[in-house]
Amino acid sequence: MQPNPNDLAVRAANDPDAFVALYNAYFQRVYSYTFYRCGDQTSAEDLTGRVFERLLVYISRYTPQKGPFEAWLFALARNVVSDHYRRQRFPWLPWEAFRQQPDRGPSPEDLSIQHEALDALNLALQRLDPRARDLISLKFFARLTNRQIAGIVHMSESNVGVTLFRAMSRLRQWMGAASEHSEHSERSESSKKEMENERA
């Protein structure tokens, strides 16, 4: 039976083994979140390290009355990333990071299709407002529930759900339009080549 994260967090203030258990349980999710917020491996590793350093400093302040530990942890992670970008003065959330997915050996044709889809997704995400992008990063990369996100961003759970629903609807709409435009361009190019071949 897996130990309760809230109980582990309470113990971790005085028990190094409990802290290590939290680190092992949440490292990958924190790394995934920071990677998609900053866009490169080196920065993500650095930010993930900072998150756990800050966790070590502040873990004694956590109590279950504050809510689930993982929501508390990702509120801390969100602050670490925000502090990083305030210092760097760079725009946050470079969604070009989607291109940096590990290579699992797809065919060149599959890679081309993936890159086109990622380009369309990147353009669509850039059209969303910062609040919607923030919610998407917490929902899909930190894998938090709407209720947990609501506590972090100080919105009602229903508002989080509505904002995410509208953001995902916009993304589907924009990507569908991009796909139709791409297909139209391909057909036009194909027709052009056929006409050139006929002339030859």
Domains annotated on the chain, with CATH? 1-94 (1.10.1740.10), 106-200 (1.10.10.10)
Q: Which two tokens stand for residue 158?
A: 């229903």
Using one digit for the tens of pLDDT, what is the confidence trace for 163-176? 999 999 988 888 87
List the end-to-end C-alpha distance of the chain, in Å, as a whole number. 73
Q: Provide the pLDDT for residue 5.
A: 93
Q: Provide the pLDDT for residue 122.
A: 72
Cα 110 to chain centroid distance, Å, stands at 23
pTM over 0.75: no
HSE, side-chain direction, 13 A CA sphere, residue 120: 20
Which residues in the chain show pLDDT less than 70? Answer: 1, 89-119, 178-200
Q: Provide the pLDDT for residue 126.
A: 79
Closest CA to 94 of 41, 34, 39, 167: 39
Q: Provide the pLDDT for residue 118.
A: 66
Q: What is the C-alpha to C-alpha distance for residues 196 and 191, in angstroms, rounded to an integer? A: 9
Q: Provide the pLDDT for residue 199.
A: 58
Q: Provide the pLDDT for residue 180.
A: 62
Q: Which helix (H) or strand (E) holds 150?
A: helix 146-153
